Amino acid sequence: MTKEDLTAWALAAGWRVIAGHPSLTKPNAPKDPIVRLVLKATVANLEVRKPAGKWEKVGGAAYASITQSEDEDALPTGLGFEQVPSITSLMQQNRDAMVFSRLGG
């Protein structure tokens, strides 16, 4: 995947760009990211924010080694998404919040 492919996937999967990074938030704190993708020139890193507020890298890979399965709803492999507990649930909650905000506003 390329940087653009990864960004497009993230935005379609419920991620929002916060402070320049595709991010996921807690449902009760929609402006406070807890998971983010840091997309650099040649690599992508997956980071999780610790309770103290510090970001911790949980995975990362060169774009060439990140792959997307044919199932568009599946997580890309190679970035370490399996290291983040309940990532799919968090993505679903963020996606739902985006849909409801469009309906309400």
Rounded distance between C-alpha atoms, residue 98 and residue 48, angstroms:
21
- HSE-CB at 89 with a 13 A cutoff on CA atoms is 5
In whole angstroms, how far apart are CA 6 and each of 36, 52, 54, 57, 101? 12, 28, 24, 17, 24
pLDDT score of 85? 87
In whole angstroms, how far apart are CA 15 and each of 2, 52? 17, 22
pTM: 0.89
pLDDT digits (tens, 9 = 90+) for 54-68: 999 999 999 999 998
SS3 label, residue 39: strand
Q: Would the pLDDT of 72 be above 80?
A: no
pLDDT score of 70? 81
